[in-house]
Amino acid sequence: MPTPRKTKPTPRQRRQPVSVVTGGAGFLGSHLSDLLLSHGHQVVVIDNLITGSTANIQHLAGNPDFRFIHQDVTDYLYLEGKVDFVWHFASPASPIDYLELPIQTLKVGSLGTHKALGLALAKNARFLITSTSEVYGDPLIHPQTESYWGNVNPIGPRGCYDESKRFAEALVMAYHREHAIDTRIVRIFNTYGPRMRLNDGRVVPAFVSQALAGKPITVFGDGSQTRSFCFVSDLVEGIFRLMNCTHPTANLPVNIGNPHELTMLQFAEEIIRATHSKSRIVHKPLPQDDPKQRKPDISRARKLLGWEPRVPLAEGLIPTIAYFQSCLDRKASSRSR
């Protein structure tokens, strides 16, 4: 029997997909960049480093498929050549950041999203925006489904972040309807893992760094408010699947997060166990508009993407705690010089 002739790959088959990641030097964006490179993408990261850090992407220096552009995404974005995917991750994303940078947070959600969508339109690229569970505000339904419109205080201290993401979602849908851009909206719930900043104000770095230093762990209110924590590798896998999903309803919002719910008191106790710390728990007043419950309904992600989180909290905390310990060690070492 004759050997079948091998067909020569066409230029289209040979060409690598090109992904632009705004905010790619941040916690989530840097992990996404790693995943994209592992899937054979060329990756262009655009970041103004206002909350991101080159330390998160320094391991990619010298990779011929990786390029970093130091630029504010609210400025005009121009790139030569083909772009297949635009992943809009740029935004301050922690309470400390968006309370200190309210105008920049609103600008990146509005002007930054507009510029990123303009790039996708010009390049005929598929577009994904990382929205947030904060669009649900202090929710009146539990768990939160994508059909819930939210309970948000637009003029409160968290309003700059909540409303920037709600506006961004509206803008993405307007571009989808008006310009027929192939768009995706992912609503991210609490995520943790290596490369989070020690001082970013979110509960995981706060509790872990306090426990490792033997300081009291600060729980706001009585600790009965709940959160659910998704390990970063699970999260970026879900986002990657959403971008590549071709179902007719893939343009509608999708929750990505871990539905395993803990009270803040339970989480503090888990951190003390995982770090073998002798820290005690102290209580402080609850911040204004702090959500009392946060748990995703991921039925849509399960059905549309075949996705659900796989990494249990105890397992994900191991590399997370090791990372924060290394950050504290480096800090102590630099002080002793």
* Entry pTM: 0.92
Q: Once rounded to an integer, what is the mean pLDDT over residues 245-270?
A: 96
Structural contact between residues 164 and 151, judged by C-beta atoms closer than 8 angstroms: no
- List, in order, residues 6 or more apart from 160 with CB less than 8 Å away: 98, 102, 103, 105, 106
Tokens of 137: 């505000």
pLDDT band at residue 14 using 50, 70 and 90 as cut-offs: low
> What is the tens place of the pLDDT at every residue in 240-252?
999 999 999 999 9
Query: Is 161 noted as a catalytic residue in this protein?
Result: yes
Q: Once rounded to an integer, what is the mean pLDDT over residues 101-129?
A: 97
Q: Once rounded to an integer, what is the mean pLDDT over residues 314-337?
A: 88
What the chain holds in terms of domains, given with CATH numbers, is 17-331 (3.40.50.720)
DSSP assignment of 193-248, as one string?
A: -TT--TTS--HHHHHHHHHHTTPPEEEETTS--EEE-EEHHHHHHHHHHHHH---T
Q: In this model, does residue 4 exceed pLDDT 90?
A: no
pLDDT at 78: 92
> What is the tens place of the pLDDT at every residue in 45-90?
999 999 999 999 999 999 999 999 999 999 999 999 999 999 999 9
| Residue at token pair 């490369």 | 195
Of 98, 136, 161, 192, which one is the catalytic site residue? 161
